[in-house]
Structure 1
């Protein structure tokens, strides 16, 4: 794996912080020839979908006040897991996001 693949993996995770599932989906569809980038894109996409599901559940639960406390927890987890993914991408390692639902394999 070359430095360009590492840089794209880092960029994928950093953009996932701000744009959710879109960077992972774009890289998953465009960079099919590079297994390293595709692996990070799949992982970022799975985590983003899991976070969206978590936000939807928190929205429903906010009618009974519990969901209001879940929003910051999901946001902090999203930030931490994306930073962990970017660090793993810079080292050239694969990264499996904890708590992510593996919808895309």
Structure 2
């Protein structure tokens, strides 16, 4: 017994009548070109650059900058701003640690921690709304 032969190819391309499905209408990925992010993705990555600092410190905005910074000016601006603030906070922690010898460091450490937490939350709220945010004090080391 012979099996019936299938006359249609397994991987038929777009229909010949010109009706191309929407997923095939998108431009192909080009290796040298970063793909643009949707507005929703921009807001998500931007807020991750700020809220991630509560757990990961300066590592969170650095990761966001390296992974998504080239794809969106908004994500780059938020991650650079957050990274600069976290570098400033880290310097403050080091100075506070040194000042713990004379006991004032315990107070400054807590003040820096509280300010970093409050400003990270405010920046996250602004980023979730798609608005720019500038920390009130930060060394602008990363451009």
Structure 1 residue runs of 4 or more that deviate by more than 4 Å after TM superposition: none
The residue aligned with 1:25 is 62
Q: Which has the larger Rg?
A: 2
Contact 2:61 2:79 in 1 (8 A): yes
Matched pairs, number: 105
CA distance in 2 between counterparts of 1:7 and 1:97 reads: 19
Q: 2:75 aligns with which of 22, 31, 37?
A: 37
Deviation at 1:89, TM superposition (A): 0.3
The residue aligned with 2:47 is 10
- TM-score using structure 1 length: 0.94
CA distance in 1 between counterparts of 2:60 and 2:85 reads: 12
Structure 2 segments unaligned to the other structure (5+ residues): 1-37
- TM-score using structure 2 length: 0.70
The residue aligned with 1:96 is 134
* 1:41-80 correspondence runs (5 A): 41-80=79-118
Compare relative contact order (CA 8 Å, sep 6+) and give the higher one, 1 or 2.
1
Choose between structure 1 and 2: higher helix proportion. Answer: 1
Structure 1 segments unaligned to the other structure (5+ residues): none
Secondary structure of the 2:112 match is helix
Query: Greater CA deviation, 7-16 or 65-74?
Result: 7-16
